[in-house]
Each structure stands twice: as C-alpha cells, then as structure tokens.
Amino acid sequence: MTTTNTALIDVRDVTKSFATDGGEKTVLSGVTLTIHQGEIVALLGRSGSGKSTLLRCIAGLIAPTSGTVSFKGGELNGANPGTALVFQSFALLPWLTVLENVELGLEAKGVRPEVRRERALRAIDQIGLDGFESAYPKELSGGMRQRVGFARALVVEPDVLLMDEPFSALDVLTSENLRGELVRMWSDGTLPTRTALIVTHNIEEAIQLADRVVVLDSNPGRIKAELTVDLPQPRDRRSPAFEALVDEVYGILTGQQAEPRAAVAGIAGAPVDVSIAAAAATANEIDFPLPAASTGSLGGLVELLAERGGTEGLAEIADELRYELDDLLPVVDAAQLLKLARPQGTELRITEQGRRYAAADLLRAKEQFATLAMEAAPLVRRIVRDLRHTTSGAIRADEILAELKAHFGDDDAQQQLDTAIDWGRYGELFEYDADTGRLLLPTHPDAEQEERAS
C-alpha cells in the first residue's frame, strides 16, 4: 500500500451531540483526523465511543454539531461524494438479485443501464461472486452476502471505502477468509479503491488491515492515540511485532477508563484505580455507569488470573476466553471497580482481595462480593438503600429504569439495570421478581453483613 500526502478526508475539530431524554449528549468532542490517499485507517474504541457516529459524519449522512468534514478540500454539505459504505448488517434489498443489488449504487449516480451492468458484473467477478449474479440474498451465506455488500460499495469506485464493522456479523472462519482476501486484493491492486476507513472493535483486525490505527476514547469520543502499523502485508499475527502492537492497544484501551469517570467526580488526574473507586464512591448513584459484566464472567476472570500466578497479559486473556474487546473490557473494568484486579500496562494483575475472592468457597465469595458491590457499585447501593426505606420491602424496577433512561440511552439503561440486578442477586443483597417487575429485600434473615459497607 502506497500512502501519499494527499489529504482526501479532513475532519476538523468535530463535535457531535444528540438530544436525549436526559438532555444533550455529546458523543464526539474535538475530533481532528486526516485520511490520506492510499492509506487504510482503522478506527478502534470501546462500544459507544462514537466510532459509527464519526463514520457517518465522514460519509455526510449526519452533520457535525460543530467543526467540519471536508472531501478533497471541499467542506461537506450533505452526502460525501467520494465515499461508499459497507455495513455490518449487509443492508441488501431482499427482493433484488445479487446483480441488481450491486447495480443499485450506480443507478443512484445516474450511470446508463448498459454501463451499469458491465461494471456490476466486473465488481461481482472481482469480489469472488461469479456464478451468483441471479441469486437472491436469502440464498446466500453471511459471507457471500457481505461480498455483495463490498461489491455494491466498490462498483462506484469511491475514493474512500468506509466500512462499519464489516466482518462482525460473520463467523470467525468466514471473516478471516474475507479479511484475508481483502488484504490480498488491496496489496495486488485488484481493488479500484485504495483508501479506506474501517470501524472495528477487534484489535487484531485493526492491526491486520490498517496502516494507521486511531483509538477513540469514550464519553465523549475523542482521539486517544494513533499508532502507525509498519508491518509488511500479509501480516503474521503470531509475530512478536504484531503481538507487541496488540498489547500496546490493549494498554491504551484499558488505561483510558479512569479519566472520564474521574472527571465526572471532579478528581481528574488521580491514579487509575484510586480515581475509579473514588468516582464510584462520590458519583451520583444513578449516573455512574456500571461495567456490563456478569458475576459469572467476573469470577471466571479472577480465577484465571489466580491460576496464572496473579498476572496475565490482556491479549492472552482475550485469546484464552475467546473474548472480543467488547466482551473483555467491561469485565476488566468491573474487576478494577471492585478492586479484584488492576491493569498494569498491557497486563492485568490480581489484588490481594482478588486472591481471597478466587480462593473463597461460594458462600464466602458471595459475601465478599456483596461487600464490594455495596462499596463500589453506586446503583446497587442505591437499590439496597431504597429497599430499606420502603415499608413494603419492595420497589418497582421500572421506576429505577425510568431514572436510568434520563442519563443513558434506552438500551444502556436496561443494561445498567440488568447488571445491577445480576450483582445484587449474586451478592444476595436483593431479589428480583420478573413476573411482577419488583425488586425485593432478601427473604432470608442473615442479610445483615452488607450493613457494614453502607
């Protein structure tokens, strides 16, 4: 891949806010990014960090709240004429054949029918769909459908190919295969488009494909770090240089968590684990986000660390548990929040508390968890306190949910409640009756120990 200094896309100080029930939500803040001709850039970040929002701003599908996006020096004022999109969900029209789906992009650009057909057939051929021209999407496997998605985007010969998690709906082997082919086609010049931006939450995918990896911070999304990937294609995932880059990105992503949370509590700059715990202690109980980790996965992580002598690399943990980034980081955050483990550079290290937790029998582990959750999980603490203040010993979960929705989106609010219920139930701090939608104080008499923590 030959990268030139010609800027194709120029994102300048872009901020994007959305109106939500709880007021304005700033998703992107002060993002500045240039994509040069011939380079492949990967945009990596946690779930909700604003990757897709930035991609949609670049595609011109949504306008920034402030700042500008330019294509070849011209400020966008609507759809970006130099880009085409590949979506995670394929977004094919089920009533059209493969050929007709691929022709669609050209039709929108007013290309004559006979030219359309010829170009669509060429794109279908290039992407390995020969023989499937007359098939309907439902006849195709996921991998073949995504090939149609690629052909439809590439047929318009965009200057920049924009991809939003294009492989994440595919199984591991299929995505590996398609990614590999894409790299080959890029390297040997088969593809008409040589510049791309790919949104992904898969670190290895980013390092396998990209010349440059841009890491987005969360809440709000800002550029946290940029790494140049100076390895020849095709890249060997097992090479020490590749693994070192994976480790580096894990370090960046786990190191970032404390900053926004500490800022919420007004104690920015405090050391990582101290600041998260302190933020949790002082934050408004409703708006402090609990990491979406189940008690089962948390226990599994702490046990794995204990088995490995107390320390293990984050990339190795993800490999061992077959976790994607979005699965692993919330569990690491939860372990950190509950002071069971602490990230150190590219590794995760168990704490003394974590060792005790891993060694405890179920009853003691639950007791310990209850104490830790009362100390460190504001939403759990809030539910327990509300329950103790009602005479009936029960509160409606949907009332808590309504409050959460004022601070988080609908999906995130539900996830917050689900996590708090899982944690509260596991620690036997409260019960939840799904039939009546009520949270209840535990029925057994020995639920006193959490008093100590409150």
Ligand X SMILES: Nc1ncnc2c1ncn2[C@@H]1O[C@H](COP(=O)(O)OP(=O)(O)OP(=O)(O)O)[C@@H](O)[C@H]1O
Residues within the interface to ligand X (CB under 6 A): 18, 20, 25, 27, 45, 47-53, 201, 409
Residue with smaller CB distance to ligand X, 286 or 440? 286
Residue with smaller CB distance to ligand X, 52 or 353? 52
Q: Write down the least CB distance from residue 440 to ligand X, Å.
A: 31
Q: Write down the least CB distance from residue 59 to ligand X, Å.
A: 12
CA-to-CA distance for 149 and 147, rounded, in angstroms?
A: 5
- Take residue 181 and report the two structure tokens written for it: 């082919």
Give the SS3 label for residue 26. Answer: strand
Burial 221-253 (b: 16+ CB within 10 A, else e): bbbbbebebeeeeebeeeeeebbebbbbbbbbb
3-state helix, strand, coil split of the chain in percent (to 5) is: 45, 20, 35
Q: Write down the least CB distance from residue 42 to ligand X, Å.
A: 13
Residue with smaller CB distance to ligand X, 53 or 371? 53
Look at the block and give the residue holding tokens 């057909």: 117
Residue with smaller CB distance to ligand X, 50 or 149? 50
Neighbours of 10 (CB within 10 A): 20
Helices (H) and strands (E) in the chain, counts: 17, 16
Q: Write down the least CB distance from residue 220 to ligand X, Å.
A: 9
Q: Write down the least CB distance from residue 177 to ligand X, Å.
A: 23
Q: Write down the least CB distance from residue 77 to ligand X, Å.
A: 20
Residue with smaller CB distance to ligand X, 68 or 415? 415
> Under 8 Å CB-to-CB from 359, ≥6 apart: which residues?
306
Instruction: Specify burial of residue 284 (Cβ count, 10 A radius: 0-12, 13-18, 19+).
Output: exposed
Query: Phi and psi dihedrals of 224, rounded to 5?
Result: -90, -40
Q: Write down the least CB distance from residue 103 to ligand X, Å.
A: 29
Cβ atoms of 330 and 343 within 8 Å: the answer is no
Residue with smaller CB distance to ligand X, 45 or 427? 45
Residue with smaller CB distance to ligand X, 27 or 182? 27
- Take residue 272 and report the two structure tokens written for it: 């990582």
Residue with smaller CB distance to ligand X, 25 or 366? 25
CA-to-CA distance for 62 and 345, rounded, in angstroms?
A: 37
Q: Write down the least CB distance from residue 51 to ligand X, Å.
A: 4
Cβ atoms of 304 and 320 within 8 Å: the answer is yes
